[in-house]
Structure 1
Amino acid sequence: MAEPAFIFGRAESPGGIQPPPTRLPFVQGIVLLLLALVGGYQLLGLWTTTLEPVSLQGALLVGTLVCGVWGAVRMRRSLRLRAFAKEHRTEPWLWDHPWTQETVAPQLATGPLLRPILGGLAIVGLLGAFGYLAPEVLGPGTPEKQRLGGGFMLLALTTSGLYVTWRFLLRAFYRRWKARRVFGRVSLRLPQVPLSLGSRDTVELLPEHDVPSLHSLTATLRRIHQVTRTKGTGKSERRITTRTLQHEHTQELDFEGLRADRPLKIPLTFLITDARSSTWRQLGEEVSWELEVLGFTEQGKRLAMNFRLPVYVTAATRL
């Protein structure tokens, strides 16, 4: 459960400006601990009878221990983070997001390998099942009507499975890999964390290798207000997320190709006169800043990067 920090007597920021309250981190691991309790209860029931195999009891014991240990570790970490957040209520950038001074563009990062691995295994399984069932369904001993109907169903199910695997497990990884092969890894380096609301700062774009074919490059600074609401009840209940663009500024960058030995400097201005324009997050509502860098090569390849920015009310803010 997460509460807004002002419930715990949030003080004003060092700059004398009251920023919007940011919710404290959630307590995690509760569901895993509940699963461990349920597994322990079931395990006690199995021990009172000799009808169940030992292997089932062993599997349940392992699952219960894993859930219990994992839940306890996550709960301990989240409680420590909440305690830290309460002590630094006026410095939410220390705990509300894993901010770093240098960030790799998510669109050019390899990302977690779990999804492509699962996607590869799913494709192998689908093709293997198709190869195993096709001779039986399409064999000469099968009646013609059953062969046509079974063949159509087998082909449709295999095609649907391959599409779903590609759509949800492999497509994003392929796009990142394709962009990474052309542009390499590109990072954004901040002068400090956080960036102060009401100030001017210069960030640096750091390419992994030279991209001399780039002929246009623009940088767009945006402030986005996102609201998530639940509408309806029961089976008709649904969550609707609305993103509202509150501020946008685009500038053409003066450059001579991306150079690995020469960071590209991007000046940014956060001259906003409302403290609620800083980064904050509550249940179902948040305001965030992002920097989009968009470019095109002479071959028509598109470079699109998006970085989240830590823009907060700090001691340097003077609105």
Structure 2
Amino acid sequence: MGGGLLKSTATDASGRELHDHESRIGAAGYGWTAVLVGLAFAAAGGTLLPFALAPLYEPGGPPDVTTTLVGVVFGVLFVTAGLWLAAFGLLGASRRRGVRRGREMYPGEPWRWDHGWDESGIRDDARRRPVVWALRLVALALFLVPFNAVAFSGELPWWGRLGFGLVAVTFDLVALYSLYRFARSLTQLLRYGSGGLAYGRFPFFLGEDLDVVLRPARELPGVPLKATLRCVLERYEDRGTRSEPSPTAVAYELYSDEKTAAAPSGVAGRGLGVGLSFRLPEGLPSTDLAGPPLTYWELEVRGEGPGADYEVTFLVPIYVRRLA
């Protein structure tokens, strides 16, 4: 096993907000309320679609293509988003039942029920990221179809085209950013593959050492690596206006420790890897993935490489040791 530790720095981040951080709340933030809201959205979309398609069957000339397109797209979006939300609600409700049963069976061992841990280690997120950004891109593209159609149809007065155009261009830029993130994550996956992190033990406890082995899928010649272990608190906050609150998942970094290591050497599948060790201070939050809110520890590994940077993130099982 190659690679060596070069430098270590630890900081107390004291709740520094993390921007552009991948949310892990997921289904944990949903339940039966989401199921009801999702079904209501789907029903609204299903009601809108027949009205949008009705002009196609009316005699007396061609229908208004722009109006029909806008109605159909909004109807499909409402149905799709509603069913998606309802599915997440069912998943979240099922997860909550499992958490309740786990708490009853293993009250002092949350790592048995707050997350589906593999005790030997975890795969990196290299395969998941392109899928996530592709779904976001498709959703944004569908959402933008009616706005762009109205803005550039020429059927509105100049002030209407200007208003719709500004909205469309703003969200078009967001879609372009999603396209960039998709392309970058796909390039990273093709360049480096999908590796993993082997745990030295399971679980890890605060006040003790975290020993793991990073195992890239392919060799990283000459790529120095920066590994950052951080404790993250993630919760929903109202980030809208006072009259129209908008619940948004926000992540805060409560603690971080950074190490720089030499690139791993060897042949993939034959000892390719680099060992990383962190001292886990006492008095920090334990992993709690049964929320929301969520508290979790993640290890981020980055390195500048030819053609594409190496960038992966792993969840690590770090808990408070509870004495019986």
The question of a shared fold, defined as TM-score above 0.5 by the shorter chain, is answered with yes
Alpha-carbon distance between aligned partners in 1 of 2:166 and 2:192, rounded to the nearest angstrom: 38
Displacement of 1:222? 2.8
Alpha-carbon distance between aligned partners in 1 of 2:39 and 2:167, rounded to the nearest angstrom: 36
Task: Describe the shift of the 1:96–1:170 C-alpha distance in structure 2 as closer, same or farther (beyond 3 A).
Answer: farther
Listed one character per residue, the Cα deviations across residues 215-269 of structure 1 (whole Å, up to 9, x for unaligned) are 3112232334567777999438687957244342424236337845333132323
**Which secondary structure state, in structure 1, belongs to the residue aligned with residue 190 of structure 2?**
helix
Alpha-carbon distance between aligned partners in 1 of 2:223 and 2:171, rounded to the nearest angstrom: 41
Task: Describe the shift of the 1:170–1:98 C-alpha distance in structure 2 as closer, same or farther (beyond 3 A).
Answer: farther
TM-score in terms of structure 1 length = 0.58
Alpha-carbon distance between aligned partners in 1 of 2:103 and 2:202, rounded to the nearest angstrom: 17
Which letter maps to 1:292? E
Alpha-carbon distance between aligned partners in 2 of 1:233 and 1:224, rounded to the nearest angstrom: 26
The reply on whether 1:105 has 2:124 as its aligned counterpart is yes
CA RMSD of aligned residues (A): 4.8
Partner of 1:292: 300
Partner of 1:306: 313
TM-score in terms of structure 2 length = 0.57
Which protein is bigger by CA-based radius of gyration? 1
Alpha-carbon distance between aligned partners in 1 of 2:233 and 2:91, rounded to the nearest angstrom: 34
Alpha-carbon distance between aligned partners in 1 of 2:92 and 2:152, rounded to the nearest angstrom: 43
Range with greater deviation from structure 2 (94-103 or 71-80): 71-80
Structure 1, gaps ≥5 residues long = 1-24, 41-61, 138-145
- Contact conserved, 1:228 with 1:285, CA < 8 A, in 2? yes
Range with greater deviation from structure 2 (177-186 or 281-290): 281-290
Displacement of 1:311? 0.7
The reply on whether 1:89 has 2:107 as its aligned counterpart is yes
**Which secondary structure state, in structure 1, belongs to the residue aligned with residue 214 of structure 2?**
strand
Alpha-carbon distance between aligned partners in 2 of 1:127 and 1:229, rounded to the nearest angstrom: 28
Alpha-carbon distance between aligned partners in 1 of 2:174 and 2:198, rounded to the nearest angstrom: 37
- Contact conserved, 2:147 with 2:167, CA < 8 A, in 1? no
Listed one character per residue, the Cα deviations across residues 37-85 of structure 1 (whole Å, up to 9, x for unaligned) are 9x99xxxxxxxxxxxxxxxxxxxxx99xx89x96778645532431222
Partner of 1:9: none
**Which secondary structure state, in structure 2, belongs to the residue aligned with residue 215 of structure 1?**
coil
The reply on whether 1:177 has 2:177 as its aligned counterpart is no
Partner of 2:138: 117
Which letter maps to 2:32? G
Range with greater deviation from structure 2 (102-111 or 227-236): 227-236
The reply on whether 1:165 has 2:185 as its aligned counterpart is no
Task: Describe the shift of the 1:235–1:84 C-alpha distance in structure 2 as closer, same or farther (beyond 3 A).
Answer: same
Range with greater deviation from structure 2 (88-97 or 276-285): 276-285
Task: Describe the shift of the 1:201–1:119 C-alpha distance in structure 2 as closer, same or farther (beyond 3 A).
Answer: same
Which letter maps to 2:139? L
Task: Describe the shift of the 1:257–1:151 C-alpha distance in structure 2 as closer, same or farther (beyond 3 A).
Answer: farther
Counterpart selection for 2:264 from 233, 255, 258: 255
- Contact conserved, 2:265 with 2:272, CA < 8 A, in 1? no
**Which secondary structure state, in structure 2, belongs to the residue aligned with residue 235 of structure 1?**
coil
- Contact conserved, 1:211 with 1:259, CA < 8 A, in 2? no
Displacement of 1:203? 1.7
The reply on whether 1:28 has 2:37 as its aligned counterpart is no
Alpha-carbon distance between aligned partners in 2 of 1:131 and 1:232, rounded to the nearest angstrom: 26
- Contact conserved, 2:124 with 2:195, CA < 8 A, in 1? yes
Task: Describe the shift of the 1:33–1:268 C-alpha distance in structure 2 as closer, same or farther (beyond 3 A).
Answer: same
Alpha-carbon distance between aligned partners in 1 of 2:165 and 2:238, rounded to the nearest angstrom: 39
Range with greater deviation from structure 2 (177-186 or 148-157): 148-157
Once the two structures are superposed, the pairs formed by residues 41-120 of structure 1 within 5 Å of their partners are: 75=93, 78-100=96-118, 101-107=120-126, 109=128, 110-112=130-132, 114-120=135-141
Alpha-carbon distance between aligned partners in 1 of 2:94 and 2:313, rounded to the nearest angstrom: 33
**Which secondary structure state, in structure 2, belongs to the residue aligned with residue 163 of structure 1?**
helix
Listed one character per residue, the Cα deviations across residues 114-156 of structure 1 (whole Å, up to 9, x for unaligned) are 3343345456x4698379835x78xxxxxxxx6x767766755
Alpha-carbon distance between aligned partners in 2 of 1:27 and 1:122, rounded to the nearest angstrom: 23
Larger relative contact order, structure 1 or 2 (CA cutoff 8 Å, min sep 6): 2
**Which secondary structure state, in structure 2, belongs to the residue aligned with residue 210 of structure 1?**
coil
Listed one character per residue, the Cα deviations across residues 92-130 of structure 1 (whole Å, up to 9, x for unaligned) are 11222233343333355333453343345456x469837
